[in-house]
Structure 1
Amino acid sequence: ICCCSDKENLCLYGHPNEAWEVALPAEEVPPELPEPALGINFARDGMNRKDWLSLVAVHSDCWLLSVAFYFGARLNRNER
């Protein structure tokens, strides 16, 4: 994971094609969609690399679960 130290408040985004991207937070996200964890690069310099990657993985998993529940809650009985 590349996290440029000159940029602040980076987020890890998952895309439908299973690719991941480290980028600045989106300017406009639909308010009902869960936002990814902000600032994955803040703790990086003060942590062991393995611990930092574990922290990023936890934040990513939480975001993916939030998005899955968001879309799942909108399904009706037939769509489930």
Structure 2
Amino acid sequence: MEETFEFTYTFRELAERQVTCPVTLFEAAGDDYSFLENTEGWSTRPPTVVELDADHYSLLRQPDLNELIKKIRYRLGQ
């Protein structure tokens, strides 16, 4: 873990490699943007951001967990 990631956001680990697969970020209601949304060069294409109606903690339990499952399945089916 220590060799791969740092405990603070330095973005050094993002600059050393580039992701070539599609990336989807699921953003819970009330969450700030992900640092990946405003960082360039780590991916060959920008991430798709899927906004959720449920908040960060309610996504871990029913009924809001269903929203996350539904949107993950939708993205995988595209």
Q: State TM-score, norm by structure 2.
A: 0.35
Larger proportion of strand: 2
Q: State TM-score, norm by structure 1.
A: 0.34
